[in-house]
Structure 1
Amino acid sequence: MPKINYPSTCAAHAIFEFCAEIDRHAGVDQLIIDFSSMGRIEPFTMVYVAKIIREFNRSNPLTKVMRCGFENKQYAANMAFFRAFGLKHGREPNCTDGNDRFVPFTIIRVRTIVDEASHEWKAEQDIIENRSEKLARILAQQGTSDLVDALTFSIREIMRNVFEHSRSKSIEYCAQYWPTYHKVEIAISDNGIGLTESLKHNPYIQVTCDADAIQQALMPAVSSKNYQGAIIDRNDPWHNSGFGLYMINRLCRLGGSFIICSGDHGIKLDDSGKEHINLNHRCNGTVVRMVLNTSRIESLSKMLMQFREDGYEIAKKIKGVGMYEASTASQMLSRDFQ
C-alpha cells in the first residue's frame, strides 16, 4: 500500500511537493498519509494542505485514504487542521474564543455575507470590513493600532477579491501572530474559478497560462472588472480598481513575504525579489499567504499613499487596461471616507 510522509518542514516548496505527491496517487485503491514527521506547521500550510486533500478525496471517491501519526499533533489539532479535511480529530473549524493571538481554520459561506448585508442594510463589502477588523483585533490583541489597521486592510482586500471575482461559495482562512518574532501570517483560500478564468473577463488582457494570470493580477490597475469600456460607479467607494493585490504584496514585502497560488502555478514575493513556482499539481481557485513584519508597520495611510503613487506610475505603462483612479477603499481603511 503506497504511503506518503508529511514533510518535517513547513517550507513552501516542501508543502507543494507533498501535495504533488498526493496528486500523483490519483486512482489508487488505497493510500496512507503519515503525519508522524510533522514538525512546525503554519497557517498557509494548514489551509493549503487541507484544500488539496479535500480535493483529492472528492476527485477519487473510490480511493480509501487512511491517516496515521496525527494523534500527538496538538497545535494542528487545536487549529482545526485535521477536521478541515475530514479527519475526526481535534477542534472543528470556526471554533475560536478570541483569547489568543491565533484564528483557527475558519470557513465563511459567501451566502452568509450576502444575507448579513441584506439584514443590516449594508454593502457586502462593509460586512467583510467588519469581519476583517474583528479578526485583526483577535490577532493583535489590541483595539486600535497601526498593526490592526494593516491587518484589517490586508484581510479585507483578499476577502473582497474572493467575494467580487472568484465565484467561490466560501472563504477559508487561518492566521497566527508571533509577537516575539515580529511576525503575523494570514492564509486565505477560495474554491472558485481561479485567476486565469477571472481575468478572461477583461477583453484587454491576454492570458495564456496560470503564470501569466498571477503575474498580471499582481500589477496595479489590472482587474477582471476595471478596464476601458467597463461600467463602473465612480461614486461607489467600493468600486474595483485592481489595486488590492498590488497594495497588499507591497505591504508584505516590507520584511515579510507574499505567496499567491492559482491553477498550476505560484509566485512568491519578498524584499529579495520574485520567485515563480511550478506547483506540479493543480490548485483550484486561489490561495494567498501574507506574512507581515510587525516591526515595519508604521502609519498605514502613509504607506498606502506611497504605494498608490508608485502604482499609478506603473499603471501608466500598462496599455489597454483602462486608467481609473484607485478606489478609495483600496487606499485606506473604510473609516477614512465615512
Structure 2
Amino acid sequence: MVYVAKVIREFNRNNPGTTVACCGFQYKQYPANMAFFRAFGLKHGREPNCTDGNDRFVPFTILRMKTIVDEASSEWKAEQEIIETRSAQLARILAQDETSDLVDALTFSIREVMRNVFEHSKSRSIEYCAQYWPTYHRVEIAIADSGIGLMESLKGNPYIQVQCDADAIQQALMPAVSSKNYEGIRVDRNDPWHNSGFGLYMINRLCRLGGSFIICSGYHGIKLNDHGKTHMELKHYCKGTVVRMVLNTSKLASLSHMLTQFREEGYIIARQIKGVGMYEASAASQMLSRDFKQNA
C-alpha cells in the first residue's frame, strides 16, 4: 500500500492534465483503515497519521524530517536518538509488549531503515505503515522515501562503481558499504551513531530467517528470502527508495547474539571477495551468493 500510494501520487504530480479514476474502493475496509486511499489523494477512509488504529497495526504515517530535527533541537539530543525513540514506540505498538526479542528486532529494523533515509536520502519525509499478525508469526513493515535514490547516494563513495539501479541496490546490501564511510574520510569512531554501512545487510539477514526483504529504487527491485535472491525490473520509475520487511517472529532469538553473528560473517565474506577495495556490481552479487551458501 505504501508503494502503490507513492506511485499513484507521483504519477498525479507528473501528469497534472490526467485524471485518475477509482472504483470499488467503498468495499475495501482494510486499506481504508490503513489510510491507503487518503495517502494518494482519494477522499475515503482514514487520514494519514491517525493514531486510533487497533493494537496490532500502524496506519499510513508521514514523518517529516523537519519534525525529527526540531524534536532533537528542543530536547538537546541527536536526531538519531529521536529516530530510536520513535522506532521503539512503533515496535511496542506492534508487539504489544515493552521488552522482548520481538521489540528489540523491530526497533532495530525500523531504526536502521529510518536512519538510512535521514542520513542519505535527502528526502523531506519518511512514509511507513506496519501490521503484526500474531497467529501467523508475521510482522510486515513498509518504509518509503522520495529522496535521491540509492544510485545517486552511493556515487558519493569514490570506491563504489555504480552503473545502474540494480548495481546500486546490490552494493547497498553488502556489509560495510556506505556513501559516508570509506577510506580517506574522517569518521568519529566514538560517535555511537557513526555510519558503518551494515544497516541494510543486518536487516535483510534478520528478515531472511523465515521472512523476506524487498528493496526498490529507480527502475529496479530485489527480493531476498531464505530461498535466495530475485531481481525485479520495474515498469516505472520509483523515486527514492522503498523497503518492505517481513519478519517471522517465531525465528527471532536474542538480537545481540544474532547481530554479532551476522556482523562477523559479513566481515569474513567481504574480505574473501577479490578487489574489495573497489566495490563493483559483480563483487556485490558474488557476496550475496556466498552469503546464501554460507547460511543455507
TM-score by length of 1: 0.81
1: CA distance, partners of 2:278 / 2:249: 34
How do residues 255-334 of structure 1 correspond to structure 2 at under 5 angstroms?
Answer: 255-317=210-272, 319-320=276-277
Structure 1 outlier segments of 4+, above 6 Å = none
Correspondence for 2:290 = none
Correspondence for 1:213 = 168
Picking from 188, 194, 203, the partner of 2:149 is 194
Correspondence for 2:292 = none
Is 1:179 equivalent to 2:134 in the alignment?
yes
Is 1:115 equivalent to 2:70 in the alignment?
yes
For each residue in 1:202-231, what CA deviation from the matched residue of structure 2 results, as whole angstroms up to 9, or x when unmatched?
Answer: 001010000000000000001101110112
SS in 1 for 2:22: strand
Root-mean-square deviation over aligned CA pairs: 1.1
SS in 2 for 1:65: coil
For each residue in 1:291-324, what CA deviation from the matched residue of structure 2 results, as whole angstroms up to 9, or x when unmatched?
Answer: 00000011000100100100111222452269xx
How far 1:98 moved relative to its partner? 5.9
How far 1:99 moved relative to its partner? 4.1
Picking from 67, 86, 95, the partner of 1:131 is 86
Q: Is this contact kept in 2: 1:194–1:285, CA < 8 A?
A: yes
Q: Is this contact kept in 1: 2:217–2:242, CA < 8 A?
A: yes
Q: Which structure 1 residue ranges, 5 or more long, are not aligned?
A: 1-45, 323-338
Is 1:152 equivalent to 2:72 in the alignment?
no
Q: Which structure 2 residue ranges, 5 or more long, are not aligned?
A: 280-296
1: CA distance, partners of 2:105 / 2:16: 42
How far 1:67 moved relative to its partner? 1.2
Q: Is this contact kept in 1: 2:37–2:44, CA < 8 A?
A: yes
Is 1:226 equivalent to 2:186 in the alignment?
no
Q: Is this contact kept in 1: 2:33–2:53, CA < 8 A?
A: no
SS in 1 for 2:17: coil
TM-score by length of 2: 0.92
Structure 1 residues 321 and 300 mapped into 2: Cα distance closer, same or farther (>3 Å)? farther
Picking from 11, 14, 20, the partner of 1:59 is 14
For each residue in 1:121-155, what CA deviation from the matched residue of structure 2 results, as whole angstroms up to 9, or x when unmatched?
Answer: 00000000000000000000111100000000000
SS in 2 for 1:66: coil
2: CA distance, partners of 1:98 / 1:64: 31
SS in 1 for 2:44: coil
The one-letter code sitting in structure 2 at the alignment partner of 1:245 is L
SS in 2 for 1:246: helix
2: CA distance, partners of 1:115 / 1:171: 15
Count the aligned residue pairs.
Answer: 277
SS in 2 for 1:68: coil
Correspondence for 1:168 = 123
Q: Is this contact kept in 2: 1:228–1:320, CA < 8 A?
A: no
2: CA distance, partners of 1:221 / 1:124: 22
Q: Is this contact kept in 2: 1:99–1:138, CA < 8 A?
A: no
The one-letter code sitting in structure 1 at the alignment partner of 2:165 is D
Correspondence for 2:196 = 241
Q: Is this contact kept in 2: 1:221–1:321, CA < 8 A?
A: no
The one-letter code sitting in structure 2 at the alignment partner of 1:121 is W
2: CA distance, partners of 1:107 / 1:245: 21
Identity percentage over the alignment?
81
SS in 2 for 1:316: helix
